[in-house]
Chain A
Amino acid sequence: MERILFYILALSMVGFAIAAVSSRKMLRSVIYLLFVLVGVAGLFFLIDYNFLAAIQLTVYAGGIIVLIIFSVLLVHHIELKLEMAKPKRRILTGILCLLGIGVFISTIYSHSFDVVGEHTTTLTSDIGKRLLSVEDGGFILPFEVISVLLLAAMIGAIIIAKGKKLNEKTKDLP
């Protein structure tokens, strides 16, 4: 059952991913990405990381995708067909990517992973504790750093997105 589910998920993810990078319509491309992200969330569910799956869904599928859609709507006509690279280049890139896949996969399969066959469910509280722990192996410092980063990014985003207008205004003043 889980196997079947995984394969379905995997196939749909690959399919949507391909669709996302090759669709000539911007909005569709974003939506395909959404499906891929949702698929990833599904994968998390399958391996029993519910909390992560939830984050994935909310932050990615909910936040980022919406952001992207907004920007698409702001800068694009929906009907606009995207320009694609030259066929020669696409084929070259495709070959390169296939080669890369080959390299990766051959590496992966030549390595014997020491799989531990336990079925422990990770609790959300554990994650929370670990994140805020100041003890050995605690992640409080990165957590703080990421918070500052997020804040900075937010302020930066606002300034960048608004900067031009301010400039124009100051320009018009005299």
Chain B
Amino acid sequence: MIEGISIYDILTLTTILFFIGVYGFLTRKNLISILISVEMILNASVVNFVVINKYLYPDILQGTLFSIFIIAVAAAETALAVAIIINLYRQISSVEVKDTEVMKF
């Protein structure tokens, strides 16, 4: 609970962060950049979990625990994504989205 800061302010902030992430996810053309945007989206939601836990239900810990899980999953996901990216790079020497379109057909 931050002094003088309402839950609205924090939720606003996370919303903005979330949509900046979405924006990045939609507009960037590079796999790693997309990964970055995804991280941002995840973080925004983590903050939401935590803040709601703190402001509305301070005596239970569900939100906190979930945020830990989210972080863990994010780490795993990043590791996998990076592995895929590197593998892809080995094969087609590029990590641009447009070059990975062969899968489409």
Contact = CB atoms under 8 A, between A and B. Distances in A.
Direct contact between A and B judged by beta carbons closer than 8 A: yes
Nearest to B55: A115
A10 B28 CA distance: 24
Interface residues of B, number: 74
Contacts of B19: 97-98, 100-101, 104
Given A75-B86, A93-B26, A127-B65, A14 B32 contact: no
Contact of A119 (B1, B43, B47, B71): B1
B67 A52 contact: yes
Given A55-B68, A109-B8, A163-B87, A44 B61 contact: no
A52 B68 contact: yes
A21 B27 contact: yes
Contact of A20 (B13, B40, B78): B40
A68 B32 contact: yes
Interface residues of A, number: 85
B61 A56 contact: no
Given A82-B33, A105-B12, A163-B87, A17 B40 contact: yes
A79 interface: no
Given A3-B2, A29-B36, A33-B40, A18 B91 contact: no
Given A59-B71, A93-B26, A36 B2 contact: no
Q: Which 5 A-B residue pairings sit nearest by Cβ, starting from the closest? A: A21-B24, A153-B76, A157-B83, A161-B83, A97-B19
Given A40-B47, A75-B86, 4 more contacts: A21-B36, A97-B23, A153-B79, A154-B79
Interface of B: 1-13, 15-24, 26-30, 32-33, 35-37, 39-40, 43, 46-47, 50-51, 54-61, 64-65, 67-69, 71-80, 82-87, 89-91, 95-96
13 contacts: A1-B3, A14-B20, A20-B37, A20-B40, A21-B28, A26-B30, A60-B74, A72-B32, A82-B30, A85-B26, A150-B76, A153-B77, A161-B87
Interface of A: 1-3, 6, 10, 13-14, 17-18, 20-22, 26, 29-30, 33, 36-37, 40, 43-44, 46-49, 52, 55-56, 59-60, 63-64, 67-68, 70-72, 74-76, 82-85, 89-90, 93-94, 96-98, 100-101, 104-105, 108-109, 113-120, 122, 126-127, 130-131, 137, 139, 142, 146, 149-150, 153-154, 156-158, 160-161, 163-164
